[in-house]
Amino acid sequence: MNAPRPLIGVTLDSEPPTPGGYSGFPWYAIRQNYMDMIAACGGLPVALGHEPELAVELVARLDGLVVTGGAFDVPPDLYGGGEWHATVQTKPRRTLAETALIRAAMARGIPVLGICGGMQLLAVVLGGQLVQHIPDTYPASLAHEQPNPRNEAGHDVHVVPGTHLARLVGQDRLAVNSAHHQAVSDPGRAVVCATAPDGVVEAIELPGYPLCIGVQWHPEFGISAGDHLLFNGLIDAARQTGT
């Protein structure tokens, strides 16, 4: 008899009412490929709404957590970032809920994967800091908001040898897609496990934890074998949690 699929919570994005659009009332959103990738790698994905007061109860039923990305930023107030850059846009309730979910997941010791904005929030929860706008800090930076489609590679990243990420993907270089204007400047209690050629941090992980990894790209698109191996690693770790 096959073992049950581990239950993987996936955070949702939120959108305001859009008269004439999807709904005239507030609505949740997620790209289908987040769920598809988790299911393809052996997990059972379930969507998580933005109820921070229910985070502990929700996480008690999960075997793993994926904190997704979105077109918004972590409020600089949460990491002592000083004056807000003009480009910063926030979704306070989403951030509050995802923060509560990350903390609850780590208190339980279940695997956590942060993707793009989810990596940035993970770094902040771990005591880190962010660059509010990459071009201001890295004048010669790559196009981290790549002009080509998201299901294509935008640049390569160097994977730090000996890290958990390196063991999962089995490579020291990955082609990744890229859609972010902010980045991690200080990973806090985490360590950097991948960087872009321009020095921008592309992945972090928490040593000594079953699996706690944040990646700045969008592996749910599965543009490389490494993307699939990362999700396989998440599901394998979650399976151990559920046993």
- Whether the pLDDT of residue 1 is over 70: the answer is no
pTM reported for the whole predicted model? 0.97
Calculate mean pLDDT across residues 97-114: 98
pLDDT of residue 243 exceeding 80, the answer is no
Active site residues: 116, 218, 220
Between 3 and 174, where is the model more confident?
174
Return the residue matching tokens 């770094």. Answer: 123
pLDDT at 55: 98
Asked if residue 21 has pLDDT above 60, the reply is yes
Within a 10 A sphere around the Cβ of 234, how many other Cβ atoms? 28
- 64-67, strands of its sheet edge to edge: 44-48, 7-11, 64-67, 112-115, 212-215, 201-205, 191-195, 155-159, 173-176
Residue type, 167: R
Report the chain's mean pLDDT, rounded to a whole number: 96
Strands 64-67, 112-115: pairing kind:
parallel
CA 54/CA 71 separation, integer angstroms? 24
Residue 3 pLDDT = 81
Whether residue 242 has pLDDT greater than 90 = no
pLDDT in tens, 35-72: 999 999 999 999 999 999 999 999 999 999 999 999 99
pLDDT for 123-181, tens place per residue? 999 999 999 999 999 988 999 999 999 999 999 999 999 999 999 999 999 999 999 99
The alpha carbon of residue 158 and the mean position of all alpha carbons in its chain are separated, in whole angstroms, by 18
pLDDT digits (tens, 9 = 90+) for 68-103: 999 999 999 999 999 999 999 999 999 999 999 999
User: What does the buried/exposed string (b/e) look like for 137-154 if buried means 16 or more CB atoms within 10 Å of the residue's CB?
Assistant: ebeebbebebeeebeebb
- Proportion of the chain above pLDDT 70, given as a percent: 99
- Using a 10 angstrom Cβ sphere, with 0-12 exposed, 13-18 middle and 19 or more buried, the burial of residue 25 is exposed
CATH of domain 7-241: 3.40.50.880
Distance CA(66)–CA(14), nearest Å, equals: 16
- Sorted by where each begins, the domain ranges of the chain are 7-241
Using an 8 Å Cβ cutoff, are 8 and 45 in contact?
A: yes
Q: For residues 229 and 238, give the distance between their C-alpha atoms in angstroms, rounded to a whole number.
A: 14
Q: What is the pLDDT of residue 58?
A: 97
- Map residue 47 onto helix, strand or coil: strand
